[in-house]
Amino acid sequence: MAKPKKTPRPKAETPKGFRDYFGAEVTQRTEMLRAIAGVYHHYGFEALESSAVETVEALGKFLPDVDRPNEGVFAWQEFDENDKGDWMALRYDLTAPLARVYAQHRNDLPTPYRRFAMGPVWRNEKPGPGRYRQFYQCDADTVGTASMAADAEICAMLSDTLETVGIPRGDYLVRVNNRKVLNGVLEVMGLGDDQAARDNVLRTIDKFDKVGEQGVRELLTKGRLDASGAYIDGVGLSEDQAAPVLAFLTSKAADAAGTIANLRAAIGTSEMGAKGVAELEQIGELLAAGGYGSDRIEIDPSVVRGLGYYTGPVFEAELTFEILDDKGRKRQFGSVSGGGRYDDLVKRFTGQEVPATGVSIGVDRLLAALREKGRISAQPKGPVVVTVMDRDRMADYQAMVSELRNAGIRAEVYLGNPKNFGNQLKYADKRNSPVAVIEGGDEKANGIVQIKDLILGAQIAQSATLEEWKERPSQFEVPRDQLVAKVREILDGQG
């Protein structure tokens, strides 16, 4: 007789590229999202939570022309007896769903429609170190207006948001540029219609941050030797042709008026370019009227990141303080947010062009920045732990915990097997508890409790016996009715 087949135990693992978030990681992100939502709401933006699942048709670009369209997205087919069920997929960003929502509900939504959205998105990509297939996005967009006031508002809101979550003025800068100015520059270079040459120039501009003015000049013309000694072919422009791009990239002056003047020179006679410069000027005026100076928001033509995706103004928020990288070298923390204007949001659905502008904040990077600066704790304090010396008096310990909680103090009773007191101390240690409360039979008889400051005692908690532990000067004996007052005093002293 064959042996009965045993089902092997399932592996307790997340799927590849996914992870779990514990304790403070979750709580701090939730608090940050709440703070950001508060600012957005204050600016008149309304929350939107679209479903995590969209039809592949509505998401676009991932059409089910293969059996399983899982290029880039996680997708599956709705069950249908004739195998004709809709293909569905997890959203890969919050903008594609916004397009679908606006097209679907446009008759019920106000126009313009200011909305914010925050939540996980999913990418079917090869996972790598620090690269997950589920992560948070946090977006705000204004749909249905071409007014530069919408773009200026997004920049002001971004500035307020950064200060609200704990990045002080001076530690960040919102930088604004305009895609139309660059298009104007390409026009005066005589590349208005030459898509291949334009693409080459755009790719080169993207390297400005890395290789600087001289590097871009060489790459636009004859080419250059890179750091490894390899020769990189140039785009083949003449020095004269390359000049407007370089003038554009280096047009930042001491003040906005100077920058605007430099940009006007760079775009020469291009109408498109002039429009872009006028838009930047308008944004500058609106921000000045709102009291946002160049210490918070500035026009900076060297912002090239994302220029390719947008049709008008583009924004980027950078944290300007220095951190040490993996190799101990100083570098700026860098970008935590980006956005800009795009005009084809709902055209796929309705055929109409609807102008829109928006911004996305990298919440996880912002959290990392705050931890880096010590503004939020990587391992916050745990609850006060009431230990259990006598399992038959659980009700006594329960009463203590209730008193502490009612006084606003985070507290819990030890719920494991109380036999081994060392385990209770290890537990309190693992919980990062600031205070432990002890009431054995003697204490009970004498109407007192022992209260232990664990921040001082943490190092010896792993190995100490109860007796050693009681001898530490960080332990206090108080009458039972002073339990709450003494715990509060210790917590206050710990700061």
> What's the Cα-to-Cα distance from 40 to each of 100, 118, 153, 155, 266, rounded to whole Å?
21, 11, 10, 12, 36
Q: Which is nearer to a second copy, 149 or 378 (CB)?
A: 149
Nearer to a second copy, 235 or 401 (CB): 401
Binding positions for a second copy, 456-495, rule CB under 8 A: none
Least gap, CB of 439 to a second copy (angstroms): 13
Letters for 247-286 (x = contact with a second copy by CB under 8 A, - = none) are --------------------------------------xx
Task: Give residue 322's region: left, alpha or beta (phi > 0; psi -120 to 50).
Answer: beta
Of the residues 21, 226, 420, 468, which one makes contact with a second copy according to CB under 8 A: 21
Asked whether position 383 contacts a second copy by CB under 8 A, the answer is yes
β-pair type (134-143, 356-361): antiparallel
CA–CA dist 4, 70 (Å, integer): 38
Distance CA(96)–CA(116), nearest Å, equals 13
Q: How far apart (Å, rounded) are the C-alpha atoms in residues 212 and 219?
A: 11
Binding mask 22-41 for a second copy (x = CB under 8 A): xxxxxx--x---x--x---x
Residue with Cβ nearer a second copy (30 or 463): 30
Task: Look at the chain and count its residues.
Answer: 495
**Contact stretch for a second copy (CB under 8 A) within 74-82, 209-217, 327-335, 459-467:** 74-82
Told to check if 230 binds a second copy by CB under 8 A, we report no
Q: Of these, 35, 57, 192, 466, which contacts a second copy (CB under 8 A)?
A: 57
Phi, psi of 395, rounded to the nearest 5 degrees: -65, -35
Q: Find the part of the chain contacting a second copy (CB under 8 A) among 43-51, 171-179, 252-260, 306-314.
A: 43-51
For residues 374 and 352, give the distance between their C-alpha atoms in angstroms, rounded to a whole number: 48
Q: How far is the CB of 160 from a second copy (least distance, A)?
A: 8
Q: Which of residues 280-339 bind a second copy (CB under 8 A)?
A: 285-286, 288-291
Tell me 333's DSSP state.
Answer: E
Of these, 19, 203, 210, 375, which contacts a second copy (CB under 8 A)? 19
Find the helix packing angle between 271-289 and 256-267, rounded to 10°. 170
**Which of these ranges, 13-21, 195-203, 297-305, 312-320, lies near a second copy under the rule CB under 8 A?**
13-21
Minimum Å gap between C-beta 226 and a second copy is: 35
Cα 135 from Cα 125, distance rounded (Å): 12
CA atoms within 13 A on the CB side of 373: 18
Site for a second copy in 146-165 (CB under 8 A): 147, 149-150, 152-153, 156, 160
| Cβ atoms < 10 Å from Cβ of 41 | 13
Site for a second copy in 116-145 (CB under 8 A): 120, 122, 124, 133-134, 142, 144-145
74 forms part of the interface with a second copy (CB under 8 A): yes
Tell me how far apart the alpha carbons of residues 54 and 63 are, in angstroms, rounded to a whole number.
12
Residues binding a second copy: number (CB under 8 A): 105
DSSP single-letter state for residue 436:
E
H or E stretch covering 102: helix 95-105
Residue spans of alpha helices (H) in 206-323: 208-220, 239-249, 256-267, 271-289
Minimum distance of a second copy from residue 75's CB (angstroms): 7
Instruction: Pick between residue 399 and residue 456 the one whose CB is nearest to a second copy.
Output: 399
What 3-state class would DSSP assign to 423? Answer: helix
Comparing CB distances to a second copy, the nearer of 197 and 346 is 346
Stretch in the footprint of a second copy (CB under 8 A) among 42-50, 358-366, 443-451, 470-478:
42-50
Per-residue x/- track, 75-104, a second copy (CB under 8 A): xxxxx------x-x-x---------xx-xx
Instruction: Tell whether residue 353 is a contact of a second copy (CB under 8 A).
Output: no
Q: Minimum CB separation from a second copy for residue 152, in Å?
A: 7
List the interface residues with a second copy, window 395-454 (CB under 8 A). 395-396, 398-399, 401-402, 405-406, 410-413, 415-416, 427, 430-431
Binds a second copy (CB under 8 A): choice among 35, 70, 127, 335: 70
Secondary structure letter of residue 124 according to DSSP? B
Name every residue whose Cβ is closer than 8 Å to that of residue 158 and which is 6 or more positions away in sequence.
174, 315, 317, 337, 339, 359, 361
* Separation between Cα atoms, residue 221 and residue 144, nearest integer Å: 41
Q: Is 212 left (phi over 0), alpha (psi -120 to 50) or beta?
A: left
- Measured in whole angstroms, the distance separating CA 442 from the mean position of its chain's CA atoms is 53
Q: How far is the CB of 295 from a second copy (least distance, A)?
A: 16
- Alpha carbon distance 177, 276 (integer Å): 9
Please answer whether residues 298 and 173 qualify as being in contact, where contact means their C-beta atoms are separated by less than 8 angstroms: yes
Report in angstroms how near the CB of residue 412 gets to a second copy at its nearest: 3
Rounded to a whole number of angstroms, the minimum distance from the CB of residue 61 to a second copy is: 11
